Protein backbone atom coordinates (compact mmCIF):
# COMPACT_ATOMS: atom_id res chain seq x y z
CA UNK A 1 0.00 0.00 0.00
CA UNK A 2 1.33 3.44 -0.96
CA UNK A 3 0.53 6.01 1.72
CA UNK A 4 1.04 9.74 1.37
CA UNK A 5 1.38 11.60 4.66
CA UNK A 6 0.82 15.36 4.72
CA UNK A 7 1.80 17.95 7.33
CA UNK A 8 -0.18 21.01 6.19
CA UNK A 9 1.10 24.56 6.34
CA UNK A 10 1.10 27.66 4.18
CA UNK A 11 4.81 28.44 4.32
CA UNK A 12 5.86 24.79 4.23
CA UNK A 13 3.65 21.77 3.59
CA UNK A 14 5.55 18.57 4.25
CA UNK A 15 4.85 15.33 2.42
CA UNK A 16 6.11 11.79 2.80
CA UNK A 17 5.29 8.82 0.58
CA UNK A 18 5.87 5.36 2.00
CA UNK A 19 5.16 1.84 0.91
CA UNK A 20 3.77 -0.46 3.58
CA UNK A 21 3.61 -4.24 3.28
CA UNK A 22 2.52 -5.73 6.57
CA UNK A 23 4.98 -4.47 9.18
CA UNK A 24 7.62 -3.56 6.57
CA UNK A 25 7.90 0.08 5.52
CA UNK A 26 9.93 1.80 2.84
CA UNK A 27 10.33 5.52 2.15
CA UNK A 28 9.62 6.27 -1.51
CA UNK A 29 9.73 10.06 -1.58
CA UNK A 30 9.49 13.07 0.68
CA UNK A 31 9.85 16.81 0.54
CA UNK A 32 7.97 20.04 0.95
CA UNK A 33 5.75 22.40 -0.95
CA UNK A 34 6.93 25.89 -0.09
CA UNK A 35 5.61 29.38 -0.66
CA UNK A 36 7.57 32.57 -0.01
CA UNK A 37 6.53 34.84 2.85
CA UNK A 38 5.29 38.36 2.16
CA UNK A 39 3.43 37.32 -0.99
CA UNK A 40 -0.29 37.41 -1.71
CA UNK A 41 -1.95 34.76 0.48
CA UNK A 42 -4.46 33.69 -2.18
CA UNK A 43 -1.54 33.13 -4.58
CA UNK A 44 0.16 30.98 -1.92
CA UNK A 45 -2.99 28.87 -1.58
CA UNK A 46 -3.12 28.43 -5.36
CA UNK A 47 0.51 27.24 -5.41
CA UNK A 48 -0.18 24.75 -2.61
CA UNK A 49 -3.28 23.45 -4.38
CA UNK A 50 -1.58 23.06 -7.78
CA UNK A 51 1.56 21.47 -6.32
CA UNK A 52 -0.55 19.07 -4.25
CA UNK A 53 -2.60 18.14 -7.33
CA UNK A 54 0.60 17.35 -9.25
CA UNK A 55 2.07 15.43 -6.31
CA UNK A 56 -1.04 13.26 -6.03
CA UNK A 57 -0.98 12.61 -9.77
CA UNK A 58 2.68 11.55 -9.73
CA UNK A 59 2.68 9.65 -6.41
CA UNK A 60 -0.51 7.68 -7.07
CA UNK A 61 -1.10 6.88 -3.38
CA UNK A 62 -3.62 4.28 -2.24
CA UNK A 63 -4.29 6.32 0.91
CA UNK A 64 -3.65 9.85 2.16
CA UNK A 65 -3.16 10.67 5.83
CA UNK A 66 -3.19 14.31 6.95
CA UNK A 67 -2.53 15.89 10.30
CA UNK A 68 -5.49 17.51 12.02
CA UNK A 69 -5.06 21.10 13.07
CA UNK A 70 -3.83 21.91 16.52
CA UNK A 71 -4.50 25.49 17.58
CA UNK A 72 -1.85 26.54 20.05
CA UNK A 73 -1.25 30.10 21.17
CA UNK A 74 -1.22 31.69 17.71
CA UNK A 75 -4.78 31.56 16.34
CA UNK A 76 -3.86 33.82 13.40
CA UNK A 77 -1.32 31.27 12.15
CA UNK A 78 -3.87 28.51 12.75
CA UNK A 79 -6.38 30.22 10.47
CA UNK A 80 -3.82 30.37 7.65
CA UNK A 81 -2.92 26.71 8.15
CA UNK A 82 -6.64 25.84 8.14
CA UNK A 83 -7.04 27.58 4.78
CA UNK A 84 -4.02 25.72 3.41
CA UNK A 85 -5.40 22.45 4.73
CA UNK A 86 -8.69 23.24 2.97
CA UNK A 87 -7.12 23.49 -0.49
CA UNK A 88 -5.09 20.34 0.22
CA UNK A 89 -8.26 18.46 1.18
CA UNK A 90 -9.91 19.68 -2.03
CA UNK A 91 -7.01 18.40 -4.14
CA UNK A 92 -7.17 15.02 -2.35
CA UNK A 93 -10.92 14.68 -2.93
CA UNK A 94 -10.58 15.71 -6.57
CA UNK A 95 -7.98 12.95 -6.97
CA UNK A 96 -10.69 10.48 -5.92
CA UNK A 97 -9.23 9.78 -2.48
CA UNK A 98 -10.63 10.18 1.02
CA UNK A 99 -8.18 11.87 3.39
CA UNK A 100 -7.74 10.23 6.79
CA UNK A 101 -7.09 12.78 9.57
CA UNK A 102 -4.83 12.07 12.56
CA UNK A 103 -4.29 14.14 15.68
CA UNK A 104 -0.67 14.77 16.71
CA UNK A 105 -1.17 12.54 19.77
CA UNK A 106 -2.39 9.69 17.54
CA UNK A 107 0.73 9.98 15.39
CA UNK A 108 2.96 9.83 18.46
CA UNK A 109 1.04 6.85 19.84
CA UNK A 110 1.17 4.90 16.57
CA UNK A 111 4.83 5.58 15.81
CA UNK A 112 6.42 5.60 19.29
CA UNK A 113 3.79 3.85 21.39
CA UNK A 114 3.43 6.86 23.69
CA UNK A 115 1.00 9.73 23.00
CA UNK A 116 3.14 12.31 24.79
CA UNK A 117 6.38 11.42 22.97
CA UNK A 118 8.74 14.24 22.03
CA UNK A 119 9.40 15.29 18.46
CA UNK A 120 12.88 13.79 18.77
CA UNK A 121 11.46 10.42 19.88
CA UNK A 122 9.05 10.37 16.92
CA UNK A 123 11.89 11.16 14.51
CA UNK A 124 14.15 8.48 16.00
CA UNK A 125 11.47 5.80 15.75
CA UNK A 126 10.57 6.91 12.22
CA UNK A 127 14.23 6.59 11.27
CA UNK A 128 14.38 3.07 12.74
CA UNK A 129 11.15 1.86 11.16
CA UNK A 130 12.31 3.02 7.72
CA UNK A 131 15.97 1.98 8.19
CA UNK A 132 17.19 5.51 7.41
CA UNK A 133 20.68 6.83 8.13
CA UNK A 134 19.32 10.31 8.93
CA UNK A 135 15.94 11.99 9.14
CA UNK A 136 14.91 13.79 5.97
CA UNK A 137 14.74 17.57 6.04
CA UNK A 138 12.90 19.84 6.46
CA UNK A 139 11.20 18.83 9.72
CA UNK A 140 7.83 19.22 7.98
CA UNK A 141 8.76 16.36 5.61
CA UNK A 142 9.88 14.24 8.58
CA UNK A 143 6.55 14.96 10.30
CA UNK A 144 4.65 13.97 7.15
CA UNK A 145 6.53 10.66 7.00
CA UNK A 146 5.51 9.99 10.61
CA UNK A 147 1.87 10.74 9.66
CA UNK A 148 2.10 8.20 6.82
CA UNK A 149 3.61 5.64 9.23
CA UNK A 150 0.79 6.35 11.68
CA UNK A 151 -1.73 5.43 9.01
CA UNK A 152 0.20 2.31 8.01
CA UNK A 153 0.42 1.12 11.60
CA UNK A 154 -3.17 2.08 12.45
CA UNK A 155 -4.81 0.69 9.31
CA UNK A 156 -3.16 -2.72 9.74
CA UNK A 157 -4.08 -3.14 13.39
CA UNK A 158 -6.45 -5.91 14.38
CA UNK A 159 -8.99 -3.34 15.57
CA UNK A 160 -8.92 -1.52 12.22
CA UNK A 161 -9.42 -4.79 10.33
CA UNK A 162 -12.29 -5.73 12.63
CA UNK A 163 -13.96 -2.32 12.19
CA UNK A 164 -13.58 -2.55 8.40
CA UNK A 165 -15.55 -5.81 8.40
CA UNK A 166 -18.14 -3.95 10.38
Sorted by sequence, the CB contacts under 8 Å of residue 31 that are 6+ apart come out as 14, 15, 136, 141
47 Ramachandran zone, left/alpha/beta (phi>0; psi -120 to 50): alpha
Residues with a known catalytic role: 7, 67, 140
Tell me how far CA of residue 55 lies from CA of 33, 50, 71, 86, 98, in angstroms.
10, 9, 27, 16, 16
Amino acid sequence: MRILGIDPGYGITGFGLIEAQGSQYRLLNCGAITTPPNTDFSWRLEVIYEDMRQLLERAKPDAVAIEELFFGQNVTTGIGVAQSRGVILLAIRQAGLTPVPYKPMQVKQAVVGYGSATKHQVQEMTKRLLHLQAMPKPDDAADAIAIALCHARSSTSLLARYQARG
